[in-house]
Amino acid sequence: MMKVTNNIISPAGHISDLLPDQNKPRVYIETYGCQMNVADSEIVLSILVENGYSVSHDPKQADIILINTCSIRQKAEQKVFKRLDVFSRIRKNNPGILVGVIGCMAERHKEQLVNNFQVVDLVIGPDAYRKLPDLIKEAGTGQKAVNVLLSHEETYADISPVRMDKNRVSAFISIMRGCNNMCTYCVVPYTRGRERSLDPKIILREVDNLTRLGYKEVTLIGQNVDSYRWKPKEKDIEISFSGLLEKVAEAVPEMRIRFSTSHPKDLPDKVLSVMSRYNNICKHIHLPLQSGSSRILGLMYRGYTREWYIERIKAIKKTLPGCSISTDIITGFCSETEEEHKETLSLMEWAGFDFAYMFKYSERPGTKAAKKLNDDVPEEVKSRRLTEIIELQNKLSQRAKTKDINRVYEVLVEGISKKSENDLFGRTSQNKVVVFPGKNYKPGDIVKVRINDCTSATLLGEPV
């Protein structure tokens, strides 16, 4: 396992190298939610393996089942409650299994989970994972073990994650935790606490680790990467996200670098300029719009207007021609009118997003919107607006893909296509998935592919 000891880091490795070991308690982790949660599960596994646990790939064979949860929308939470029923049945046949709920739902539903779910033995929030080994011992004595304290400092900087990705090509590094933005709809500041950034030295060491493990791509992740800040004790100058990005790009010129998520109010020209100067920084920006109406953006406390967002897109298109842009959209936020919904559609059309995650507004108890605004857009109106948004986005994605026909892209191969064993799939710098016949290539290779067709979700091509 990797630990920073005398400044030396040894690689933590990959989950598939950790075989179930009969002599050690076996842990099974299931992960829901965002990339931050995936990164957290990798930290959790690292902590447990370091403390003498082994890994199980099947909950029925495990001694401990952990479910890393998401609270962002009600649907995400419902899914987890259903999984707890399944784990409850598994436990009936094997009463020795311990079940833990970790992550965002642990933070929000501590009481409910402890009091109403007999199957739950552990409830652990995102800043308490170091305590897991002790808490598991406590739960082993028959007591429910709970720790949902949020921290101003915890970054797990000294713990190298056990990688859990499928292909060993692309990995995440979490460069910051928490969020200070307080968007009125959002539960994240309550489940993940205040912002904290990691020392660039630690990030660079982890990047180096990944290169030694054979990875070809790294995504720097945080709830809002543009608020990344690090001030070395000995110096006055602060390192911002653009500074970090430049350091990473220079340190590993052979590796592809991505990042997510940017915030429209904070995305600076400096980041765009660093992106333009380094070939190995991928030309894709995820820039959540949420709404095309300035009034709704105001109610959401997003800190920008429709005009500001348009200006940021113009800046991206000017500095980074050919850069792809994806977004998140919430439809049916409190008091959204038909005209305001149309403003979202028209902005989508103008921006021509390559990809979008689209959601109906889901009120989250405890948030500012839940306390102060009325969730008054009827369900059927939300559904209809969402359908319109999805249909428009399908058209825009299709239009963008059609433009790619006859272009040649460098594709980083990630694996074998789900649909055909003779085809490989990978991604372009712009994060577009490409499928192509490729018996002579393997995951991790970069292949030049000419695009000749497309389906609704992928580009199809031939190596050139």
- Supply the minimum distance, in Å, between the C-beta of residue 187 and ligand SF4: 6
72 near ligand 5AD, rule: CB under 6 A: yes
Tokens for 111, please give them: 């009481």
The CA angle 248-254-259, to the nearest 5 degrees, is 45
Which helix (H) or strand (E) segment holds residue 462: the answer is strand 459-463
**191 counts as binding ligand SF4 under rule CB under 6 A:** yes
Q: Which stretch binds ligand 5AD (CB under 6 A): 137-145, 208-216, 356-364, 373-381?
A: 356-364
- Residue number closest to ligand SF4, CB atom: 33
Is residue 99 a contact point for ligand SF4 (CB under 6 A)?
no
Residue from 13, 189, 193, 288 in contact with ligand 5AD (CB under 6 A): 288
Q: Closer CB to ligand SF4, residue 72 or residue 334?
A: 72
CB 329 within 8 Å of CB 309: no
Using CB under 6 A as the binding rule, whether residue 36 contacts ligand SF4 is answered as yes
Q: Which of 44, 62, 97, 104 binds ligand SF4 (CB under 6 A)?
A: 104
Do 152 and 329 meet the contact criterion of CB atoms below 8 Å apart?
no
Pairwise CA distance, residues 23 & 278, whole Å: 48
Task: With CA atoms as reference, report the closest residue to 261 among 226, 228, 308.
Answer: 226
Q: Helix %, strand %, coil % for the chain, to 5? A: 35, 25, 40
Length of the chain: 464
How many Å apart are CA 255 and CA 173, to the nearest integer?
A: 14
User: Quick check: 66 binds ligand SF4 (CB under 6 A)?
Assistant: no
Q: In angstroms, rounded to a whole number, what is the distance separating the alpha carbons of residues 21 and 307?
A: 58
Of 246, 163, 244, residue with least CA distance to 202: 244
Tell me, residue by residue from 171 to 210, as one string, x for binding to ligand 5AD by CB under 6 A and - for no binding.
--------------xx------------------------
Cα–Cα distance measured from residue 9 to residue 145, given in angstroms and rounded to the nearest whole number: 32
> Residue 163 binds which one of ligand SF4, ligand 5AD, none, with CB within 5 to 8 A depending on kind?
none
Please choose which of ligand SF4, ligand 5AD, none residue 37 contacts, taking the beta carbon within 5 to 8 angstroms, the exact cut-off set by kind: ligand SF4
The residues of the shown chain that bind ligand SF4, judged by CB under 6 A, are 33-34, 36-37, 70-72, 103-104, 187-188, 191-192
The residues of the shown chain that bind ligand 5AD, judged by CB under 6 A, are 72-73, 185-186, 288, 290, 328, 330, 359, 361-362, 364
